């Protein structure tokens, strides 16, 4: 009898614990962020209201509807009302977002373009098992016996991508002969350091396109490579860099600051502050630094540039940066979707926030670039509006300003009369690139195209100049020959980018870059 009551008591205790857990579970929960850290959740009556509404729509609404789609739309709307940088990432977008943050994807690792409905290989990407198995000019006609001809990019991606370790058998036409090539689907790195070379015997150049998981390692390796070549001055190019992972920005800033110097601090909803300090592990804590920025340099780019400017470690060259001073945390919603939620503000060592004003109307917020163009700010430093109420004294003693991006120490205008700028920023650049690709494809077995060092040293694109001027709509007899070198360098750089990647493009193009020219002027002044 005692054992019977003992069993009953155990059952009752278990049921009570279960009921308490169930009731508590309706009010409390947890999720995981991008670092697999736990995020505590506490549900409100509003959550119960939404849950009931979805249930009513599913079970009582007169017509059949896709409630998943309705919920997605509702979450998109709610999150968009918070601030311009909080975003909802639906299932279809999660993979692409993760690839950007990780700096890698699973695929076969090729760069290609479509010509006459046929995929033509530009190059295989270094760092994969498939490197060198396909050649420039190869035509891909089928993957595992499924045609690749006249397919859209989404279909092509679906046929070429797949599970890590799987194989894909490609039907290829090489030099007008059909061959078969089997490739492994493997992890393909997406380099974020896309420029790394010496501008002079003393000045090194490093371009970072975003802050992904491997970016700190890439920058560290790049710095070491340049130091091994004798670098004494660094040009760190953050133009067009939209940001990324915040702790990666902290690690990169640590390469340039000395131990115990404040890199950045954040403040959350509860006014709690978190301070991040430099260590003594930096590779370039003493050398001279120029940081290139423009109106599209944002977030993590501004964390690095702000810290270097505040300590007088870096000279900011270019135009006022974007102005994003908010910190997002990416949190899983449990069904394969995620929310990137603003959880804090960040501040540079001087205490300034570089977040530009917003009133939760993202249309107004996104019009900022148009306003800068209209005000003349991109053409004249005097047109930059400074809020004197947001003046701060940096640790270096320099006066700096908050309230909307980082103001450069050395302004470089967007010169509309510059031929190099006209070519580089031209909205018809893809049309120009197609013309040049067809030219080199017609002689794709030319020996210089298969040896980067020889190409960079000896190739001249001048033989295409007259035809290229025709593409630009410029009669050759009206062309000023003083611009011949600029046009030829643009063509050579574009072809280099096709054959060898962005790093080669920037190596060729740097002599024409207006901000690089300004740095050379500054170097002459300081010597």
Q: Find out whether 123 and 204 touch, Cβ atoms under 8 Å.
A: no
Burial 278-306 (b: 16+ CB within 10 A, else e): beeebbbbebbbbbbbbbebbbbbbbbbb
Q: What is the CATH number of domain 104-189?
A: 2.30.42.10
CA distance 527 to 524: 5
Q: Find out whether 172 and 138 touch, Cβ atoms under 8 Å.
A: yes
Q: Where are the domains of the chain?
A: 45-81, 104-189, 193-411, 419-526
The kind and range of the H/E element at 411 are strand 410-411
Q: Find out whether 237 and 208 touch, Cβ atoms under 8 Å.
A: yes
Q: Find out whether 439 and 492 touch, Cβ atoms under 8 Å.
A: no
Would you name the residues annotated as active-site residues? 299, 310, 324
CA distance 437 to 410: 37
Q: What is the CATH number of domain 193-411?
A: 3.90.226.10
Q: Find out whether 139 and 178 touch, Cβ atoms under 8 Å.
A: no
By C-alpha distance, which of 473, 472, 515 is closest to 494? 472
Task: Please state the φ and ψ torsions of residue 164, each to the nearest 5 degrees.
Answer: -60, 130
Pairing label, strands 118-124, 399-401: unpaired
pTM of the model: 0.90
Burial 52-62 (b: 16+ CB within 10 A, else e): eeeeeeeeeee
Q: How do the pLDDT tens digits run along the chain, 527 residues long?
A: 556 555 566 556 555 555 455 545 556 666 777 776 777 677 778 888 888 899 999 999 999 999 889 999 999 999 999 999 999 999 889 988 888 889 999 999 999 999 999 999 999 998 888 998 999 999 999 999 999 999 999 899 999 999 999 999 999 999 999 999 999 999 999 999 999 999 999 999 999 999 999 999 999 999 999 999 999 999 999 999 999 999 999 999 999 999 999 999 999 999 999 999 999 999 999 999 999 999 999 999 999 999 999 999 999 999 999 999 999 999 999 889 999 999 999 999 999 999 998 875 555 677 888 899 899 999 999 999 899 999 999 999 999 999 899 999 999 999 988 999 999 999 899 999 999 999 999 999 999 999 999 999 999 999 999 999 999 999 989 999 999 999 999 999 999 999 999 999 999 999 999 999 999 999 987 65
Residue matched to tokens 């920037």: 506
CA distance 234 to 202: 9
By C-alpha distance, which of 1, 46, 186 is closest to 110? 186
Tokens of residue 520, six digits = 């050379």
């Amino acid at each position: 009898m005692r054992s019977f009551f003992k069993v009953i008591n155990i059952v009752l205790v278990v049921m009570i614990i279960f009921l308490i857990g169930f009731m508590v579970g309706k009010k409390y929960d947890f999720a995981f962020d991008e670092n697999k850290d736990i995020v505590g959740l506490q549900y409100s009556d509003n959550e119960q209201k939404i849950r009931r509404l979805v249930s009513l729509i599913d079970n009582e609404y007169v017509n059949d509807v896709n409630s998943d789609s309705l919920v997605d739309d509702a979450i998109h709307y709610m999150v968009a009302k918070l601030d311009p940088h909080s975003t909802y990432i639906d299932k279809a977008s999660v993979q692409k977002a993760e690839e950007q943050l990780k700096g890698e994807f699973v695929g076969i690792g090729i760069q290609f373009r479509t010509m006459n409905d046929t995929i033509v290989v530009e190059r295989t990407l270094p760092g994969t098992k498939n490197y060198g198995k396909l050649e420039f000019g190869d035509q891909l006609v089928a993957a595992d016996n499924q045609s690749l001809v006249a397919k859209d990019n989404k279909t092509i991606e679906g046929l070429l991508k797949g599970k890590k370790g799987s194989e894909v058998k490609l039907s290829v036409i090489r030099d007008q002969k059909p061959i078969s090539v089997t490739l492994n689907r493997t992890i393909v790195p997406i380099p974020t350091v896309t420029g790394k070379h010496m501008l002079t015997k003393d000045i090194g150049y490093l371009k970072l396109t975003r802050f992904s998981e491997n970016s700190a390692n890439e920058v560290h390796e790049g710095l070491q490579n340049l130091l091994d070549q004798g670098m004494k001055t660094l040009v760190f190019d953050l133009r067009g860099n939209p940001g990324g992972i915040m702790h990666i920005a902290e690690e990169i800033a640590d390469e340039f600051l000395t131990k115990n110097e404040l890199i950045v601090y954040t403040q959350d909803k509860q006014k709690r502050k978190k301070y991040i300090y430099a260590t003594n592990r930096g590779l370039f804590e003493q050398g001279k630094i120029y940081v290139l920025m423009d109106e599209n340099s944002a977030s993590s780019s501004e964390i690095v540039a702000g810290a270097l400017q505040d300590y007088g470690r870096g000279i900011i060259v270019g135009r006022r940066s974007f102005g994003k001073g908010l910190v997002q945390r990416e949190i899983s919603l449990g069904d394969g979707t995620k929310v990137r939620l603003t959880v804090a503000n960040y501040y540079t060592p001087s205490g300034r926030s570089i977040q530009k004003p917003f009133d939760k109307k993202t249309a107004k917020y996104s019009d900022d670039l148009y306003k800068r163009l209209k005000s003349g700010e991109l053409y004249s430093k005097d047109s930059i509006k400074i809020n004197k109420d947001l003046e701060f004294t940096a640790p270096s003693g320099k006066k700096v300003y908050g309230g909307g991006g980082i103001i450069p120490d050395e302004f470089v205008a967007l010169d509309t009369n510059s031929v190099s700028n006209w070519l580089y920023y031209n909205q018809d650049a893809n049309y120009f690139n197609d013309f040049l690709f067809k030219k080199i494809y017609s002689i794709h077995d030319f020996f210089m195209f298969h040896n980067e060092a020889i190409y960079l040293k000896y190739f001249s694109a001048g033989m295409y100049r007259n035809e290229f001027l025709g593409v630009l709509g410029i009669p050759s007899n009206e062309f000023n020959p003083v611009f011949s070198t600029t046009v030829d360098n643009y063509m050579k750089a574009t072809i280099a980018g096709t054959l060898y990647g962005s790093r080669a493009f920037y190596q060729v193009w740097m002599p024409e870059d207006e901000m690089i020219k300004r740095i050379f002027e500054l170097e002459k002044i300081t010597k």
